[in-house]
Amino acid sequence: MSEKTGLIFDIRKDSYQDGPGNRTVVLFKGCSLYCWWCEDPETQSPVIEVHVTKTRCIQCGTCIRICPMDAVDFEQDLENKTAIVIDRDVCIACGACLEACPGNARALTGTQMTVAEVMRQIEAGRVNYMQSGGGVTFGGGEPLIQNQFLEELLHLCRQSGISTAVSTSVYAPWEIIDRLRSEIDLFLCEIKFIDDVRHTHFTGLSNELILENLKHLDHLGHPIILRVPLIPGTNDDEINLRAIARFASELHCLQGVDLLFYRQIAEDRFVRLGKPYLVKENHPFSEEQVHNTIRIFEEFGLPIHVADLQV
């Protein structure tokens, strides 16, 4: 086993929402897209970051004095309150401010892990996978970015008889997907919009490559589950839902559609990272909206799974 390392945000055990059966979910850090509603915003940046819990900060200024890079300062926030800010272009994630902080308000996100360290955690769930038809899901962030690290993990899982899924936007050069695809048992592909202008507005990038790669994978016979994050006032209009459902209905290897209704879980985490939370309609779906959405996908005869519904 090589000593290659990858930057991992988190490894979650016993998930039943990220592919079939009981799964260990390995979340890679770094993403190509910048989705406004990202549920794990810590995975967006490809580097280790400091996050600050404002409610724990007693504004003692220790972090300002101790920072070797002069990356920390006080500033007025949007509500005109004094708050600690970090210049993230300057911060080197040395950790000095974490240890010194008397309020325990600061923490680092992301850990460099070796292939062996990640595999140990994956292997620990083997009995559960066997009993439930589960396995490991590599997600993020975008796991295809750290593709050499991912490739090694996929290869070892295949050798160990552990079923693999990759949760991805498939925003990646086809050459990378082509290199890895034979070792991936299931693709969990997120699709947010069909309209390219709207996709670019809400994620920062065009969806042309995404749709092209999806069709390509389907054409080559790879099992695909489409995952549709549904965000109120953003992509839940009938035109977009019907366009996604139509696209899904034209895939030959589709195993299902996961409808991921918006959950109000990410705003605080954006704030802790010093990032703006841009979702305007920050509320859960009503029961009626949920039923209308499900009805549209059912009209196209699609096998639907509704994940973690909170209405």
Q: Which residues bind ligand SF4 (CB under 6 A)?
A: 50, 52, 57-63, 66-67, 69, 71-72, 84, 86, 91-97, 101-103, 105-106
In the complex with ligand SF4, the residue whose CB is nearer, 51 or 227, is 51
In the complex with ligand SF4, the residue whose CB is nearer, 2 or 112, is 112
Burial class (CB in 10 A: 0-12, 13-18, 19+), 65: exposed
In the complex with ligand SF4, the residue whose CB is nearer, 153 or 273, is 273
The least distance separating ligand SF4 from the CB of residue 104, rounded to whole angstroms, comes to 8
The least distance separating ligand SF4 from the CB of residue 56, rounded to whole angstroms, comes to 7
In the complex with ligand SF4, the residue whose CB is nearer, 96 or 294, is 96
The least distance separating ligand SF4 from the CB of residue 99, rounded to whole angstroms, comes to 9
Closest CA to 226 of 192, 201, 197, 276: 192
Q: Torsion angle, CA of 9/12/16/21, rounded to 10 degrees?
A: 110
In the complex with ligand SF4, the residue whose CB is nearer, 56 or 280, is 56
The least distance separating ligand SF4 from the CB of residue 60, rounded to whole angstroms, comes to 4
The least distance separating ligand SF4 from the CB of residue 198, rounded to whole angstroms, comes to 36
